[in-house]
Chain A
Amino acid sequence: MLNYLWAGMILAGIFYGAVTGRMAEVTEGALSGVKEAVSLCLTMAGVMALWTGLMEIAGQSGLMKKAAGLLKPVIRFLFPEIPEGHPAQEDISANMIANFLGLGWAATPAGLKAMKSLETLNRTPGTATNAMCTFLIVNISSLQLIPVNMIAYRSQYGSANPAAVIVPAFLATAVTTVCGVAFARVAAGRKAG
């Protein structure tokens, strides 16, 4: 997907630049683009180090386990099809916590593990179960407590208050998740009923 998107961007840009006579600007743009990528990564590195360092403390002092306990009723509500005590519950909660805390690279492995556990409950191989659909929709609607990357980007580009985005972003993400869950509920109910 990204291969075509990336190639398309560059080819379209160069073609359009040739037509509109902006070839010098195109070269200049490519060079300034990579320069910016490097300085952005330097800012990001600091923010990420701070965040993952804190998360490591949270993990080792048992805060993550406590969070998983709090999530239990939520998971029972979202995925009533999963039998109590099934490993899928645990995998889903690990994925949700990672997403919630903005640890994207930890979320994907946990999410794939959750899909494998959900597949063991699937009686129609090749077709998604209700639980799988709900799980994907909740993932795509992005439940995030602190948008760590966005704060880093905003600070790099001179925002007067980079962290000001936290609460508005949380409100927005709550709305998307509620909409997604409601949609999944209605869609699942119609099939079952």
Chain B
Amino acid sequence: MMDFLIFLSNFIMPLLIFYIIGCGLLSKQPVYDIFIQGAKKGLSATAELLPTLCGLMAGVSILRASGFLDDAAALAGSVTELFGLPAPVVPVIFVKMFSSSAATGLVLDLFREYGPDSRIGWMVSIMMSCTETIFYTMSVYFMSVHIRKSRYTLAGALFATLAGVAVSILLAG
């Protein structure tokens, strides 16, 4: 199952690139010039990300070096491992609800510790790609139009996130 998914994954990027550039040529666009313009936007977006990443990676590294992260995860993990959820993954799930970039810091830490192709690496790779920051998104979006009663939004978001965690565990095998 996983082998087939990986096989399919290998095809998507090249085909997409082929399709986009092909369509660009067919509609007679100066594709390379446009590419350069777009790439500049991506580079400046990444440059804006660097200060955030520096702050968060320093924070996560401090937390890990002090032994706090391992001890807290081991504590939570004694329960969650019954459901197939390894202890080191637990902090990622909770932090992701509040901040995507902070969760990214934790994930990179796991990649360094276990490798991105390990079971834990796979699990968080999938998990990070299938859920969004609940509290951040809700507060920014609702605040912008002065909504105070969000009704069932939070319950629905938590339900979707829970489903995402379950699927990530299943797919990572």
A interface with B by C-beta (< 8 Å): 1-2, 5-6, 9-10, 12-17, 20, 22, 25-26, 28-30, 32-34, 36-38, 40-41, 44-45, 48-63, 105, 108, 111-112, 115-116, 118-119, 122, 125-128, 132-133, 135-137, 139-142, 144, 146-147, 149-150, 153-154, 156-169, 171-173, 175-177, 179-180, 183-184, 187-188, 191
Contacts and interface: CB of A to CB of B under 8 A. Distances in A.
A119 B102 contact: no
B164 A157 contact: no
A164 B129 CA distance: 13
Interface residues on B, range: 35 or more
A28 B65 contact: yes
Nearest to A142: B132
A180 B157 contact: yes
Which among B10, B60, B131, B157 has the greatest number of chain A C-beta atoms within 10 A? B157
B141 A115 contact: yes
Nearest to B63: A13
A139 B111 contact: no
Given A26-B62, A153-B104, A166 B117 contact: no
Interface of A is mostly: helix
Contacts of A163: 9-10, 12-13
Interface in B92-134: 95, 98-99, 101-102, 104, 107-108, 111-112, 115-117, 121-122, 125-134
Contact of A128 (B9, B111, B147, B163): B147
A40 B135 CA distance: 26
Contacts of B128: 147, 150
Interface of B: 2, 5-6, 8-10, 12-13, 16-17, 20-21, 23-24, 26-27, 29, 31, 34-43, 45-47, 49-50, 53-68, 71, 95, 98-99, 101-102, 104, 107-108, 111-112, 115-117, 121-122, 125-142, 144-153, 155-157, 159-161, 163-164, 167-168, 171
A167 to B, nearest CB: 4
B141 A141 contact: no
A166 B62 contact: no
A168 B171 contact: yes
A105 B43 CA distance: 13
A17 B62 contact: yes
Contact of B59 (A33, A112, A115): A33
27 contacts: A5-B99, A10-B59, A16-B66, A28-B65, A29-B58, A30-B65, A40-B53, A48-B45, A52-B41, A53-B39, A56-B34, A58-B20, A63-B23, A115-B144, A128-B150, A137-B160, A147-B128, A153-B116, A159-B121, A161-B10, A164-B9, A171-B167, A173-B129, A176-B130, A176-B160, A176-B161, A183-B152
